A and B are shown apart, each in its own frame.
Chain A
Amino acid sequence: MDRAEILKGLADATVAGDAETTAKLANEALRTGIDAYDAIMGGCAEGMKVVSNKYETGEMYVPEILLSAEAMYAAIDILKPHLKVERAAAQAKVVIGVVEGDIHDIGKNLVRIMLDASGFKMFDLGRDVPVKDMAAKAATEGAQVVAISTLMTTTMPNMKRVVDELKALGVKDKVKVLIGGAPTSEEFAKSIGADAWAKDATAAIKVAEKLAGR
């Protein structure tokens, strides 16, 4: 197989959720000398772009996305150890989590998958993440973006607390805050001093890329 066939194969198998094929093609990419980063970005990430578009148009839903993600990670697990150090260091960092007090993480997980596929280095802190932990992780990792989600109105005020905590740590000017989740809005994001709001996982990619200056 030539380079183009391998990359296309990785993309297609990612869309199809075929982990066996993505793993096989990842090994094939390494064997034929394709740069690991190129295999991820030109293969798997391209496939996840298709998935993202299909989600937006209602051709794919969450189970299909998770299946594609599983296929993507099967390839990434093989390719990641071969990433050149400078490539890895150049990745923009995103700290992501469901805000303190809330445990609904379907949306957060989708965003994490999509951003991972788009080449961001992700630090997923999970759900019900204490405000201080979220801000501290962003500061210690030197993250460009903190992505926070919530499904509950009762926990929306904790998003502002993350913004305030980043200010208290003196890093707010270096870290952009992206929020999302059903009860949030652009207007709410502005009102708490967040830098951006994304209506869904697909929009989150574009917004995060803009925030990270990519």
Chain B
Amino acid sequence: MQTQRRKSVGAQTYRRVASEQEIARGQTLCVDVDGREILLCHTAQGFFAVDNLCTHASARLCEGKLKGHRILCPLHGAAFDVRDGSALTRPASIAVATYPVRVDDEGVALLIEVTEDGVFHR
């Protein structure tokens, strides 16, 4: 099945979603951005952000665990690479969406893009 890319209705923009101190290295934080759950992951290589729902059976990845650069789904143990979203193990085979992250004095911000149906993605 082919997924249609939704039409963008605005410029991409960074939105602050957390302070750096809220997420210790090795930890994650689930944030709600306009009704969409996004998981911030603080790895040894920095901050990354992925959709919070597993692409296999929609379990919430925030109830799993971050190990190194892998986020592990709590339901069937599927692993995703938080750096590029790629599915590393079955039963997941579809990548999880990722969002560019910027960390500065004002905190952790995500690059989001609003589409015509209100759902955003990078």
Whether chains A and B associate is: no
Which residues of A pack against B, CB within 8 Å? none
